[in-house]
Amino acid sequence: MTKYITTPIYYLNGDPHIGHAFTTILSDVLKRIYEINKEDCFLTTGTDEHGQKNQSACEKSGLDFETFMKEKSEVYKSLFDRLNIKYDYFVRTSCQQHKDYVKQCLNYIKKKDLIIKKSYTGLYCEGCEQFKKLSDLDSEGNCPDHKKPPQQITEENYFFKLEPFREWLIEFIKQNPEWIQPKVFMNEVLAMLQEPLEDLCISRPKSRVSLGIEFPFDDNYITYIWFDALINYLSTFAHNKTDLNKYWNNSIHLMGKDIIKAHCIYWPIILKALDFEPAKKVLVHGFWLGEGNIKMSKSIGNIVDPKEVIDLVGVDTLRFYLCNTMNGAKDGQVSINLIKNTHNLLGNNLGNLVSRSCKMLEKYCNNKIPTNNLVGEDRELLEKISISFKNKISTINNLENIQELSQLIIETGNLLNGYIDKKEPWKLGKDITKKYELESCLYTLMEGLLLIGCAVYPIMPTVSDKLLSIFNLNKYKIDLNVFKTNILEAGLKINVIDILFPRVE
């Protein structure tokens, strides 16, 4: 089976924060899970390089467009590399392939008589790059996401007719109740579709915004950034129709809840007009709230810098924190202190388990895997662990399941730590008649570590690599078949590894 996973493409008007890191981390976790399930998976992320916000930021920087876009896009790319994101293609909407494809799409839709030119007066929020209705604003007349009043502008522009597709879209959503997850967002989208849809303004006069893709049939205009950006999901495969169809039919969009209108109303309608099916699935997450308990955003300036977090606790703790703390559709809290606490918790849980187990193996078995002839309850314990990991990883289908996997990892750490406390191997070690029981216990612990090492791979790839290196298995390609018991051979010499989660104060 094929899977095509996409993240939103990010604006360049500031440095990436935890919110951006999060969506991209989730996409990578999902890709790694699909790989364990032996699915052919293509992941794209990238940068959205046009529009008014990017233009204003570029003008402030004093750089020319090209240099600004290249430098800023590189900041995202290098962060995603540090975060161990296995993207297959890094989108940049300023690339020629994308620009040509967008123009092709506009021409296609125009031929269908779905584009009209007219004058329009509206309230424009630069932060959202969208016109707002009065009902979209808060009680003070501000955009609720950007805490600023939108500007009133009157302009002649090109518009794309959405209303002819409204009934079709409602029907599509009702027929596909799993399309948007979690369900609350499906209900939000259905509520938005209760009212007739206004025509979507898909151009900007060059006199106001010049950073964008020129309109193919009127060179006084550039293409509206959202129309341009959404098409990145197709333009990646512009030169390969077979791949386009293969991947598009199994496409999964990941995003924060702020952009569901664009992805669940504008985008499926654009696709329909282009004779494509909607994406297969839309997985939505809540926001990370920063200082002031408000959505972290570049425009507000309350961001948690992922680079700072990585320097302090490493990439894997950050990935784990975000996966473990996300709260379905709800918003989550993030701060350096909360992440530090999770890091120390991982140390007490997995870190402690590894160091206790390895020390005992050294003391009692000279760093060699003992007999694999296990006592019944030890075999049962390992079977329970391997089956629960296998079941979880083979059924992951939405973002909440990722949180469940992170929880299962912690629970397994607790289970094995509790097992050590109950078994008291140090007592067994003093009694020669208990040698068999001791060896069975140590085997169980080492194989438990191996299973954890495989199960943490999607969320904590570096930790996985370290755990597997204990058994010289770090180059091993993990698939579902590893989740069984009796993998380790008696006599195997294990490697000692460094402390997994060195404590931070």
Q: What is the longest distance spanned by two Cα atoms in the chain? A: 91
Would you say 227 or 483 has its CB closer to ligand MSP? 227
Smallest separation (angstroms) from ligand MSP to the CB of 233: 7
The burial of 66, by beta-carbon neighbours within 10 Å (0-12 exposed, 13-18 middle, 19 or more buried), is given as exposed
CB nearer ligand MSP, residue 10 or residue 90:
10
Residue of closest CB approach to ligand MSP: 19
**Minimum Å distance from CB 22 to ligand MSP?**
5
- Which lies closer to ligand MSP via its Cβ, residue 7 or residue 386? 7
Q: What residues form DSSP beta bridges with 416?
A: none
The H helix count followed by the E strand count for the chain is 20, 15
Least distance in angstroms from the C-beta of 277 to ligand MSP: 18
Question: Is 365 an annotated catalytic residue?
Answer: no
* Residue closer to ligand MSP, measured from CB, 74 or 411: 74
Whole-number minimum distance, CB 213 to ligand MSP, in Å? 14
Note the residues at the interface with ligand MSP (CB under 6 A): 8-11, 19-20, 22-23, 48, 229-230, 232, 255-256, 258-259, 287-288, 295-297
Taking the chain, what is the end-to-end CA distance rounded to the nearest angstrom? 46
List Cβ neighbours of 268 (8 Å cut-off, separation of 6 or more).
Answer: 165, 169, 172, 278, 279
Q: Which is nearer to ligand MSP, 50 or 390 (CB)?
A: 50
- Mark whether 493 is an active-site residue: no
Catalytic, 128? Answer yes
Which tokens go with 361? 């193996």
295 in active site: yes
The DSSP line for 440-492 is: HHHHHHHHHHHHHHHHTTTT-HHHHHHHHHTTT-TT----GGGSSS--SPTTP
Please indicate whether residue 17 is annotated as part of the active site. yes
Of the pair 19, 453, the CB lying nearest ligand MSP is at 19
Locate all alpha helices (DSSP H) within 249-335, ordered by sequence: 260-261, 267-273, 306-313, 315-325
Residue 20 catalytic?
Answer: yes
Catalytic site residue from 58, 105, 128, 201: 128
- Three-state secondary structure readout of 81-143: HHCCCCCCEEEECCCHHHHHHHHHHHHHHHHCCCEEEEEEEEEEECCCCEEECHHHCCCCCCC
**Shortest distance (Å) from residue 178 CB to ligand MSP:** 20
Full 3-state SS string of 168-204:
HHHHHHHHCCCCEECHHHHHHHHHHCCCCCCCEECEE
In whole angstroms, the minimum distance from the beta carbon of 219 to ligand MSP comes to 24
Name the residues annotated as catalytic. 17, 20, 125, 128, 143, 146, 295, 298
